[in-house]
Amino acid sequence: MRIGIDVRPFLKEETGVGVYLKNLLFSLSQVDDQNEYYLFSASWKDRFPLSKVPPLLKKRFRHFRLPVTLINYGWYHWGWPPFDFFFGRKMDIVHSPTPIVIPTFGQKIITIYDLFFLREPKLADKTAGQFFRKRLKKSVDEAQAIITISRSSAQEILSFFPEAEKKVRVIYLGIDADFWTLADKEKKAWSRFKQEQGLPAEYFLFVGAFEPRKNLPALIKAFHFLQQWGREEYLVLVGRQGKDFPQVITLSNQLGLGKKVIIKDYTSPAHLRYYYHGAKALIVPSLAEGFGLPLLEAMASGLPIIASQAPAIPEVAGEAALYFDPRQPEDIATKIEQFLEQPNLKKGLVRAGYQRVNSFTWLETARQTLKVYQELGP
């Protein structure tokens, strides 16, 4: 069976979709030695690092020096050229890592992580809010299978597209738990990293893009409540500087938190581990998540979680998190204070996290995805 996949999401920075796709393909290399994988990449400026090419037994990888915008316009506006054209042979399946189908003569699979851009279009990022929203109905109709990453997302998809019920498959994301464990020999490097980054001795951590759905202004306001209550806590924000970045800076300064809120840009997973191991807890204030990979990363790192009760988060974190109403900054602050005042609560969350994270592995993600390929294949 010939399976085509667009690997551009992990050409450069590995966030969200890129993390999922890279780990899926590297894990498929461990469970599938029968099928042929055709991996497509394109960029005018960047070259796909050979070290990132998944070690699939039967594969053909091609990187084209073509502008990303040209490929996207052709595929998503014209429906041309078919994926098959780039490899000179007909595909049996083409799996798109986005909600929009890739043109092909074979079967089409799309991945829908969540539909926040339909439910809250004004808060969605530009690509999702304007681009995906216009084309999603046609894409859902054309796809033979729809992979999504939580039961919450599946329910949301069916609320908008009930006719797609037989197409939807829920496949959880995974994690390499061993990677997030810090060995004793790494403690010196970790300590040096904290010093180089100017991190305080103790801090709360957020990991994710500075986008409206992540609800960072509410988190900043919550820390203002804590300050008013006599709590001098630090907050470290790690992630890509998106649409809400200016507001986060302005609000932090207006509320007198400029020195208490520390902002760090996107970093590699190797360095992200150090942020987790230096924190008191991970805080996830999102208004919605399709899944929430930082939840797994925190659990694997032995870090307690204080999180929003928004869709998918309780489904993933289970009893490993202390939950709050994300639209109520005072409730966020109250839960943080509860965490600080109850040492046994922290121990319970860490213990539950270690137990919970064992339910999520990339190998299982790969096995379930391979089943979908086999269902649709010749």
pLDDT greater at residue 342 or residue 11: 342
Which residue is associated with the tokens 């991190």?
199
The pLDDT value given to residue 131: 75
Lowest mean pLDDT among 73-77, 150-154, 248-252, 305-309: 73-77
Q: What is the pLDDT of residues 159-210, one digit of tens each?
A: 999 999 999 999 999 999 999 998 888 888 999 999 999 999 999 999 999 9
Q: Is the peptide bond before 81 cis (omega within 30 degrees of 0)?
A: yes
85 with 220, same domain?
A: no
125 with 109, same domain?
A: yes
Q: Give the three-state DSSP class for 208.
A: coil
319: domain CATH number is: 3.40.50.2000
Residues in contact with 322: Cβ distance below 8 Å, sequence separation at least 6, in sequence order? 304, 305, 306, 307, 335, 338, 339, 345, 349
Number of domains in the chain: 2
Is the pLDDT score of 15 beyond 80? Answer: no
The pLDDT value given to residue 76: 87
Residues in contact with 194: Cβ distance below 8 Å, sequence separation at least 6, in sequence order? 274, 278
Is the pLDDT score of 243 beyond 70? Answer: yes
CB atoms within 10 A of CB 143: 22
190 with 280, same domain?
A: yes
196 with 321, same domain?
A: yes
Between the alpha carbon of residue 252 and those of residues 197, 199, 257, the distances in Å are 20, 17, 5
The pLDDT value given to residue 129: 61
Ramachandran area for residue 198 (φ above 0: left; ψ -120 to 50: alpha; else beta): left
The pLDDT value given to residue 123: 77
Closest by Cα among 4, 7, 90, 2 to 41:
7
Q: What is the pLDDT of residues 354-375, one digit of tens each?
A: 999 999 999 999 999 999 999 9
Bridge-based pairing of strands 235-238 and 281-284 is unpaired
Q: What is the pLDDT of residues 173-184, one digit of tens each?
A: 999 999 999 888
207 with 318, same domain?
A: yes
275 with 164, same domain?
A: no
pLDDT band at 12 (very low <50, low <70, confident <90, very high): confident
Bridge-based pairing of strands 281-284 and 36-42 is unpaired
204 with 64, same domain?
A: no
242 with 365, same domain?
A: no
Percentage, residues of the chain above pLDDT 90: 84
pLDDT band at 52 (very low <50, low <70, confident <90, very high): very high
- Overall pTM > 0.85: yes
239 with 95, same domain?
A: no
The pLDDT value given to residue 14: 72
100 with 236, same domain?
A: no
The pLDDT value given to residue 299: 98
The tokens for 297 are 């990363």
Separation of alpha carbons 253 and 258, rounded Å: 5
Is the pLDDT score of 120 beyond 90? Answer: no
N-to-C CA span, the chain: 7
109 - beta bridge partners?
95, 145
Average pLDDT (68-81) is: 91
264 with 367, same domain?
A: no
Q: What residue numbers bound the domain in which 170 lies? A: 2-174+361-376
CB atoms within 10 A of CB 13: 14
The pLDDT value given to residue 126: 66
The pLDDT value given to residue 196: 94
pLDDT greater at residue 167 or residue 135: 167
Q: What is the pLDDT of residues 291-323, one digit of tens each?
A: 999 999 999 999 999 999 999 999 999 999 999
Answer for the pair 272, 238: CB distance below 8 angstroms, yes or no.
yes
Q: How many CA atoms lie within 13 A of 94 on its CB side?
A: 27
What average pLDDT is seen over the chain?
Answer: 94
140 with 249, same domain?
A: no
Lowest mean pLDDT among 35-39, 72-76, 312-316: 72-76
Residues in contact with 126: Cβ distance below 8 Å, sequence separation at least 6, in sequence order? 243
Separation of alpha carbons 277 and 52, rounded Å: 26
